[in-house]
Amino acid sequence: MSLISKKWTTLGLGAAFASTALITACSDETNRIETPPLPPVETASNTAPGAQAGEGEGGVAIERAHVDPVVFNAALAITEAHIVAARDAYAAGEQAAAAEMLAHPVSEVLFDMEPILEARGVTLFDHMLSETSAAALAGESASQIADRTDLIIAALRDAESHAPDDGSSPESIKARVIGDQIDRAATMYRIAVGDDNYEPYLDGYGFYKVAETLYQTTGTAIRADDAAAAARIEEALGLLGSVYPSALRPDALTGDVSAVTVAASNVLLAVNN
């Protein structure tokens, strides 16, 4: 599988890795518009022939993680989203789903990122995810799994410190990574509404929670740097919080898909401006 044009199903790298196809309110899959690509990442049509941008899939210009901090950090955020989702699902009694969530990033994200992480001096930590997945299947306590996931998140934080520097401000990098997570959460909610399986909802929940956490720690700086973008982020997070009330999928998904989609689209337009 080429590192240049791998497709990551529900982990598809949407906005951070290629120009994201956004669903307009009340439109179907064929009536999509593309947002401006995140500079300096080329669009999918230039870097990933045949890549898709539907149903959570996207072309991945993965080699850009060597030089682009948004791509690098978005990959780490995607990994963290699955760790957070797994931790919270496990605490809620969803043992099998949690174990699967923990295993996903090892093959879907970290395998392709490994040479990039090594080149940038990051101590590899994929074994921590595999071990925690096995521990979940073995029935460790929720507190033990939480301790393990805390260590994984700490490793992700250390990896962030090795991100490349392309001259972008820390605020703009964080805003674009948050935008990617919001866009991903919105996409997964749309999918979950039409899919009774638990995974799309849990994926989206993880993306939302990471976006929320990132904004909690960087929101003040982002707001000072770009008040309009911050307002869009806050609006989208508010809507996502209402449709992802917990790691457990509600009996009925009654959130306004169009409103969530438009809010996410507005964030991408704002942070990519």
DSSP per-residue string spanning 59-86: EE-GGGGGT-HHHHHHHHHHHHHHHHHH
Give which of 67, 68, 79, 159 is closest to 122, Cα–Cα.
Answer: 159
175 shares a domain with 154: no
Using DSSP's 3-state secondary structure scheme, residue 140 falls into coil
Containing domain of residue 233, as a range? 170-271
Residue 49 included in any domain: no
152 shares a domain with 90: yes
Residue 192 included in any domain: yes
Residue 191 included in any domain: yes
Residue 245 included in any domain: yes
Residue 25 included in any domain: no
The confidence score (pLDDT) of residue 107 equals: 87
Query: Any idea which residue has 């979950």 for tokens?
Result: 192
pLDDT of residue 102 exceeding 50: yes
Q: How many domains does the chain have?
A: 2
250 shares a domain with 187: yes
pLDDT of residue 222 exceeding 50: yes
| The token pair that represents 206 in the structure block | 């993880």
Query: Is 22 exposed, middle or buried, given 0-12, 13-18 or 19+ CB atoms closer than 10 A?
Result: buried
Residue 265 included in any domain: yes
pLDDT of residue 60 exceeding 90: no
pLDDT of residue 54 exceeding 70: no
pLDDT of residue 32 exceeding 80: no
- Rounded-to-integer distance, Cα 239 and Cα 242, Å: 5
Question: What is the rounded end-to-end Cα distance, in angstroms, of the chain?
Answer: 33
Helix/strand/coil percentages in the chain, nearest 5? 65, 5, 30
178 shares a domain with 101: no
61 pLDDT tier (thresholds 50, 70, 90): low
127 shares a domain with 77: yes
> Which among 127, 160, 193 is the end of a domain?
160
